[in-house]
Each structure stands twice: as C-alpha cells, then as structure tokens.
Amino acid sequence: MYQVEHWIDGKVVKGTSGRYSDIFNPATGEVQGKVALATKEELDAAVARAAEAQPAWAAVNPQRRARVMMKLAELINRDMEKLAETLSREHGKTLPDARGDVQRGLEVVEVCMGAPSMLKGEYMNDGGPGIDLYSMRQPLGVVAGITPFNFPAMIPLWKLAPALTAGNAMIMKPSERDPSVPMMLAELLQEAGLPDGVFQVVNGDKESVDAILDNDTIQAVGFVGSTPIAQYIYGRACSNGKRAQCFGGAKNHMVIMPDADMDKAADALVGAGFGAAGERCMAISVAVPVGQKTADALIERLVPRIEKLKVGPYTAGDDVDYGPVVTAAAKQRIEGLIASGVEQGAKLVVDGRDFSLQGYEEGFFVGPSLFDNVTPAMDIYKQEIFGPVLSQVRTDSYEEALKLVMDNEYGNGTAIFTADGDTARDYANRVNVGMVGVNFPIPVPLSYFSFGGWKKSGFGDLNQYGADAFRFYTKTKTVTARWFSGIKDGGEFHFKAMD
C-alpha cells in the first residue's frame, strides 16, 4: 500500500486534510494505494507559492525555457518504461497503450522546444507618420490544468508543456484515480531544470476543482473530461473572469461507403473501438455503413475479429489487446447500457458482459460487445459508453449517414472509409465535427497542429497544443510608439514633433 501526496515548491508535501481516496488496481479490484485530497486552503497556498515563483520564470528568455522542455523530453525517453508501467498499474491499460499515452504527450513537449517561434509578436514600421507599432505575447501568470483518468500522461503533458514554455506557472489537478504519473512528471521537470514552485501538483476531488475555479490568482483553466463537468467548469471559470478551455465527451462515428475496402474498415473499427477498452474520447463507438449489403458485409467481418480479441491484465505483456476498465462503477455502468440496448430492441451480436478471467475474477474486465440495428433513439447511441462496445447504425444513403453524424450533439472526431476522393472531400468539408479522418479511424492531429472538438465536445475558442495552446496561455500587448526628431542647431538639439 502506498500513498500519493502533493508536489509543492519542488518537493512532496503531505496532505493536511486527513481525506484520502482509494487507488485501485483495475485488474484485481484491490486497493493498492491512497491519494490525498486537498482542501481549499491547501490549494490556495500552492497557488500563492506559484505566483511568487512565476515572475522570475517569465523573465527567463523563451529559448532557455524551451531548453527545459528539451531536457524533459530526454528524461521522459529515459524513464519511458517506468512511466508506462506505473500508468498501466493504476489505469489498467496495456503496456503498449501506456507507452503510446506517454509518447503522444512527449510529442507535444518536442513541439514546445520551438516555442520561441510561437511566442513572437508582430511589427509594423511607419504605421503612421513616424509611428511604429509592435505586439508582444506575454504569459498570463498562474494557470491550472484539470486532467482526466484515461490519459494520465498525455493530457497533463499537453497542458503543462505549452503553459510552462510560455512563461506561466501551473497548478495541475490530475484524476484521483491514477495520480502517480503526474507526480513523476513533476520530479522530471525539476530534474530538467524547472525552478521550484513553477509547477505544482495538487491532488484532490471536487473541493479542489472548485477552489481552482474560485481562486482569483488563477488566470486560465484547461480541462478534459465528461461533457457535464466540462460545461460546469467552463461556466464557473468564465463567470469568475478566467479563460477556459474545456473538452468534453464524444460519440464518434465512422461512415463506411459501399466502395470501401471492407477488411481494412473492419480492422480499423476493431482497433479504434476496442483499444484501451474504449476509454478514449476519440474511440469510434458507432459504425455507419451505407447500404444494407455494406452493413451485412461489415458485420460478417467484424464478428470473428472481435471474438479473437484478447482481454487481460497489463502484466500479460504485448499479447493482450486491451485491459480492464478503470473502476467497478465504470464496469457496472457499461454493462447496464448493454442491457438497455437489448431491452430497447438492438441486436446484440457479441455479448461481453459474461467475460471472466481466471485469477482476476474481481477485476473490472468487460468483454467486447457488438450491436447491430441500433437507432438514434436508443440509450446506447445517445450516451457516451466509454467502454468496449461498438454499435452499428444502418443507413440507406450517404446523405442519411452524413445527417446522422451532423445531428449528433457531440462533435469530437469522425471518419469516413471510401475509395472515392470526391465523397471523402465532400464529407470532410460538410461534416460539423472538429477532427475528421479519411480512411483513418482515429484522426488525432499531429502535435504541430491542434486538437479540439465541436458542439458539446468542446467549450472555448482555442484548441489544445500547437499554436492555439500558445495563444491560450499568453495575452497580447500592443505598443504604439512615436519618437520625436532632433534638429541640431549650434551644437544643441532642438526637438520637433513629427506631424
């Protein structure tokens, strides 16, 4: 049994609230650790220390701040296996998935090595008679990140790398379900040369979140999680005068045209729908074949692939396709939604509810499930299941499939599989979703672009990572300057205003 505390001013600090939350091993169902839950007073004290440390960090030139990211990238690569193993132990995802979690965060750190080019302002000479104008990007001060359980390395790195490189101090409030990796990242940042106090990890629950939202010193909040919480955080942060960037849930569709390569489409659906036990905001959870023949051909290919999936603990190594879901409550909710799908008339082609693994009977495992004949009125379609469940909604035409996607309240990611370039181009141009894949099931942009959903999947004007992150974590100051000319007369300067 271990305890996770807080990281304040460059060291581990024991919580004072006396409140702790259980950290489970999802594979066994056993409590393996405890994490401290901070009070408002503890959060406010961490913010005050960050505010003291931030001005000196902001005064460091951007190139030297970027060098800290260079060193951090080196240290993450050095400790990749240690980070992945810790992540898998607390989250439950397989080691390959855990390495990918760390890697996708690392890629944003690598982009932030080039932060000086993204922090440049603009300049205009002679914008008026003798008048020059220039702008500069300056850090906000103290900012906060509230990150989810499903990517305990990637999302914190997406937040901290641009925020710190832009010259801010950051308060990180990670998920209490798997808090160890963010604490490890704090240690690596210190080793990389980040001054103490500039990055603080305050573990906690809703009390800590509300304290972040109400603290006057914190200037901006970034969040990833469910849509109801995203809406709550966005509304409360904005009402308190903070910038907010909140990303919520998803219901990602993949449209399969009759001309698509069905084997490639089936492979893509299995990987995108069941990888990481479906606990990804970019998971494909709805297959939308166009035409009954397409739907039948797709089901025929999906069933044997899904039935061959291997489910097990991360300790089984690379042979496991996915692991348990994160908590017993998540398992119960997923299985309840599967039951509702059956009750509401969907055809359950593959049922994963009875999955049991010898030696891990108390683990939070859910076998893969596949539904056919799902309709938009059913709960399994309307709700984000966040588990290893794939639903097939049959459509008779491309326009019907496109309308289905566009009418959905979420707009995180979508994909289309087709051999026709005109259809793909039309879909990409018309669909009202933030990230689109063409013959690519999980269209998470590379780290020098940006990540963000539309509709109820995203709240705020700017996306995560890329240039948008530096816009979010900085404010623009514009200077209008006029110098007066000096006219030398008899060894003295007489100053004359330029008209």
Domain at 340, CATH number: 3.40.309.10
Whether 488 is in a domain gets the answer no
**Confidence band (pLDDT; 50, 70, 90) for 484?**
confident
Whether 350 is in a domain gets the answer yes
Q: Exposed e or buried b for every residue in 223-241, given b needs 16+ CB within 10 A? A: bbbebebbebbbebbbeee
- Quick check: 495 pLDDT over 80? no
**Confidence band (pLDDT; 50, 70, 90) for 450?**
confident
Would you state the structure tokens that stand for residue 322, as one six-digit string?
Answer: 């996915």
- Quick check: 447 pLDDT over 90? no
pLDDT for the residue 492: 58
Query: Comparing C-alpha atoms, which of 247, 275, 283, 281 is closest to residue 150?
Result: 281
| Residue 458 neighbours by CB under 8 Å, 6+ apart | 230, 246, 247, 248, 411, 412, 434, 452
Whether 452 is in a domain gets the answer no
DSSP state of 177: T
**Confidence band (pLDDT; 50, 70, 90) for 319?**
confident
The CA distance from 290 to 222, in Å, is 38
* Greater model confidence, 488 or 278: 278
pLDDT for the residue 493: 55
pLDDT for the residue 254: 98
If asked whether residues 34 and 179 sit together in one domain, one would say yes
SS3 assignment, position 88: helix
- Quick check: 498 pLDDT over 50? no
Tens-place pLDDT, residues 237-282: 999 999 999 999 999 999 999 999 999 999 999 999 999 999 999 9
If asked whether residues 69 and 185 sit together in one domain, one would say yes
**Confidence band (pLDDT; 50, 70, 90) for 494?**
low
Whether 130 is in a domain gets the answer yes
- Our CA angle for 105, 451, 136, nearest 5°, is 90
Number of domains in the chain: 2
- Quick check: 402 pLDDT over 70? yes
If asked whether residues 257 and 377 sit together in one domain, one would say yes
If asked whether residues 232 and 344 sit together in one domain, one would say no
Whether 394 is in a domain gets the answer yes
Would you state the structure tokens that stand for residue 477, as one six-digit string?
Answer: 């100051």
pLDDT for the residue 491: 55
Query: Comparing C-alpha atoms, which of 345, 338, 351 is closest to residue 386?
Result: 338
Whether 445 is in a domain gets the answer no
pLDDT for the residue 121: 87
State what percent of residues in the chain have pLDDT above 90: 89
- The pTM of the full predicted model, rounded to 2 decimals, is 0.93
- Quick check: 488 pLDDT over 90? no
Whether 475 is in a domain gets the answer yes
Q: What is the mean pLDDT of residues 113-133?
A: 88
Q: What is the mean pLDDT of residues 287-296?
A: 98
Q: What is the mean pLDDT of residues 189-197?
A: 98
Average pLDDT, the chain: 94
Range of the structural domain that residue 325 is part of: 252-438
Tens-place pLDDT, residues 48-100: 999 999 999 999 999 999 999 999 999 999 999 999 999 999 999 999 999 99
Q: How far is CA 232 from CA 62, 65, 278, 281, 286, in A?
A: 34, 33, 24, 18, 27
If asked whether residues 178 and 66 sit together in one domain, one would say yes
If asked whether residues 377 and 474 sit together in one domain, one would say no
pLDDT for the residue 489: 58
Tens-place pLDDT, residues 331-383: 999 999 999 999 999 999 999 998 989 999 999 999 999 999 999 999 999 99
If asked whether residues 212 and 238 sit together in one domain, one would say yes
If asked whether residues 423 and 466 sit together in one domain, one would say no
Tens-place pLDDT, residues 203-246: 999 999 999 999 999 999 999 999 999 999 999 999 999 999 99
If asked whether residues 214 and 201 sit together in one domain, one would say yes
If asked whether residues 211 and 333 sit together in one domain, one would say no
CA 386 from centre of chain: 14
- Dihedral over alpha carbons 163, 164, 169, 170 (to 10 degrees): 60
Q: What is the mean pLDDT of residues 313-318?
A: 88
CATH number at residue 136: 3.40.605.10
If asked whether residues 34 and 132 sit together in one domain, one would say yes
- Quick check: 499 pLDDT over 90? no
Query: Comparing C-alpha atoms, which of 233, 231, 311 is closest to residue 276?
Result: 311
Q: Which residues are catalytic?
A: 281
If asked whether residues 230 and 345 sit together in one domain, one would say no
Whether 391 is in a domain gets the answer yes
- Work out the burial of residue 210: count CB atoms within 10 Å of its CB; fewer than 13 is exposed, 13-18 middle, 19 or more buried: middle
| Residue 417 neighbours by CB under 8 Å, 6+ apart | 254, 255, 256, 257, 260, 261, 264, 265, 268, 439
Q: What is the mean pLDDT of residues 490-498?
A: 55
pLDDT for the residue 65: 96
